[in-house]
Amino acid sequence: MLVLICSIFLGMYFSFKFWYWACKKHWTARVALVLIIILFGAWYYRRIHNSCKGWEYGIGGSKIDNQNGECIIPTPNYCELAIRDGLLNFAAFGQECDAQNMLFNKDQLPESLKHRQNMKKLGYPRPENWPNEMKYKESLYKKKVHANVIDMNDPDVPTHVKDNIEITVDITNHKSHRIEVDVKRNDTRAEELKIIREQVLRQDEIDGNTERVDHNVLILYIDNLSRAHFHRKMKELDGWLDQFTEDKNAELEATEFMRYHTVSKNTYKSNNAMYYGESAELNYNETANVFRHFSKNGYITGMFRDECDYSAALFDDKLKRPHFYNWDHYGSTIACDTNYDRGNTRNLVLDSGRNSQYKRCLYGKGLHEIQLDYLTQFWEAYPDVRKVFRTSMSYAHEFTGELIKYADSDYVDLLQNFYEKGYLDDTQVIIVSDHGAHFLTTRTNVFPDDSRRMENALPLLISLTPRSVSDKNLEILRKNQQQFLNSHDIYATLKSFAVGKTASSEDVIDYSFFHEELPKRRDCDTKICDNCTHPVYGNPWCHLDSSKTQARFDEKSYFYFSPW
């Protein structure tokens, strides 16, 4: 990174020296310089004034409707991420992952393996049943992962341990090592969950419960991605989803929620709201975790997070967590590999790990490809069991805003594969982010911009629903497309799918966008109940009173200062 910055400044310095010398010696150089400045100025002016064009549009031509009496979301005048679109694409200069010759770093191995010769394959450990104290802190978790990597050909390692390993690295080729994914079906757990599911559905019949939507749930979560930036950089996925908005005879229906608003500008609180129903400091009550509700209702659970930790929400080394959810399959230990995550202070490391602006490769594959491969194998390992899986991808969590586009086509391939195999016929897909861009932007703007704080508050939320569900549910989705909803409503929606009835029946005070019509004329000033501590919006942008929105444009803050 430092080399790159120094190269840019050196290039600017020698370019300036060249033009200074040329203009002194030749009149033609002076004319050429004037023409270059005029052409650049015209290009830059046009780029600035078209930067927010189409900002208010979503999939299938949907559009933010500010005439429907709901809270106002105005279109910004200048969008920095569009102005500098493509200008900082450092990832374009790197090799494709399958062309990189990467070798496993033996320094991360336990002492017993560091100097062992003739090893052929290394296995990354399964962390699902580790003690909770090893999961609470990222630093302990990372050490535990490295200490439990095994030699797959070691006769002293029990066979049942080897047979349980899902991610291995083949190190037989001394020039290039390769990763292999092999998700292992747990037959005992599958039979246990099938029995639970039968009991749940039988109880529904006894109770006369007709609200349950007996579907799998797939959560494609992308950190730090605004609704607007999704449409800028993931155009293939955008286009793929369009077919399910325009063709009313299609088997699926895609809905983009135009007023989805985060409760926090950062991941920690917004993820807590989405998966625990709380956005304040948590005690991680075991009854709150939404994935525990899925388990109790007969779902096999899986997750792959492209960061070296074990969490549904963001890790915080200072938190003590009395309860922790144990996934049935958790594939993220490979993200602790030092070829990917080299920093102990991960927020300060910009060339590796979750903040890297370069292609994130491990042993011949992009980390997102490993994640989606793991998801696919998990899905195919349990054709007879209800499933919920959550991906967690941080490709938008880097300062250039460019890397996310390199995962675009792979998401399309995943969904097209699921579509063709019929997996989406009984699966609710939720494509969601916790908040929009904040890591992408500088603290003070390099380009004219009044969009960054707004985009930070307005992340992506798209549902992809089988049209085999009831007409009532489809109509609710359509009515809610323009309604205000927040991170807590994601929790209510997921819990409603898990428990098979509207979450409000279990004292959840938020709203499921799938099961019930969202309240009208709701905004960032609305309290759900008199004694509620939430929602509290760290960066409120959707107001019924348009003067409040204008005031937000006019104010200066930590995230925004403009001389324009």
319 pLDDT band (50/70/90 cuts)?
A: very low
Q: Which range, 28-42, 132-146, 275-289, 476-490, is most confident?
A: 476-490
Q: What are 525's two structure tokens?
A: 């000033």
Q: Which residue has the tokens 């799918």?
A: 497
Name every residue whose Cβ is closer than 8 Å to that of residue 65 and which is 6 or more positions away in sequence: 258, 482
Name every residue whose Cβ is closer than 8 Å to that of residue 53 and which is 6 or more positions away in sequence: none
Secondary structure (DSSP) of 134-182: HHH-HHHHHHHHHHT-EETT-TTS-HHHHHH--EEEE--SSS--EEEE-
530 pLDDT band (50/70/90 cuts)?
A: low
pLDDT digits 0-9 by tens, 443-486: 455 566 778 888 999 999 999 999 999 999 999 999 999 999 99
pLDDT at residue 4 in the model: 46
Q: What is the mean pLDDT of residues 92-113?
A: 91
Q: What is the mean pLDDT of residues 518-538?
A: 78
Q: What is the mean pLDDT of residues 253-263?
A: 96
- What number of other Cβ atoms are within 10 A of residue 156's Cβ? 7
Name every residue whose Cβ is closer than 8 Å to that of residue 367 and which is 6 or more positions away in sequence: 306, 334, 335, 340, 360, 361
Lowest mean pLDDT among 18-22, 84-88, 219-223, 505-509: 18-22
Backbone angles phi, psi at 293, to 5 degrees: -65, -40
pLDDT at residue 323 in the model: 47
pLDDT at residue 309 in the model: 79
Does 559 score more than 60 pLDDT?
Answer: no
Residue spans per domain, the chain: 187-554
219 pLDDT band (50/70/90 cuts)?
A: very high
Classified by CATH at the fold level, domain 187-554 comes out as: Alkaline Phosphatase, subunit A (3.40.720)
Secondary structure (DSSP) of 450-510: S-HHHHHH-B-EEEEEETTS-HHHHHHHHHHTTSEEEHHHHHHHHHHHHHTS-GGGGT--S
One-letter amino acid for residue 385 of the chain: V
Q: Which residue has the tokens 């246990």?
A: 192
pLDDT digits 0-9 by tens, 408-433: 999 999 999 999 999 999 999 999 99
> Is pLDDT larger for residue 378 or for residue 19?
378
pLDDT at residue 480 in the model: 97
pLDDT at residue 508 in the model: 75
pLDDT at residue 359 in the model: 92
Name every residue whose Cβ is closer than 8 Å to that of residue 510 and which is 6 or more positions away in sequence: 277, 486, 488, 489, 491, 492, 503, 504, 528
Lowest mean pLDDT among 26-35, 234-243, 341-350: 341-350
Does 205 score more than 90 pLDDT?
Answer: yes
pLDDT at residue 475 in the model: 96
Does 556 score more than 60 pLDDT?
Answer: no
pTM beyond 0.85: the answer is yes
pLDDT digits 0-9 by tens, 358-391: 899 999 999 999 999 999 999 999 999 999 999 9
DSSP secondary structure letter of residue 252: E
Q: What is the mean pLDDT of residues 84-109?
A: 90
pLDDT at residue 301 in the model: 96
Q: Up-side HSE of residue 519: CA atoms within 13 Å toward CB? A: 13
What share of the chain in percent tops pLDDT 90? 55
Mean predicted lDDT score pLDDT of the chain: 85
- Strand ranges in 346-425 using DSSP code E only, listed in sequence order: 361-362, 365-366, 386-393
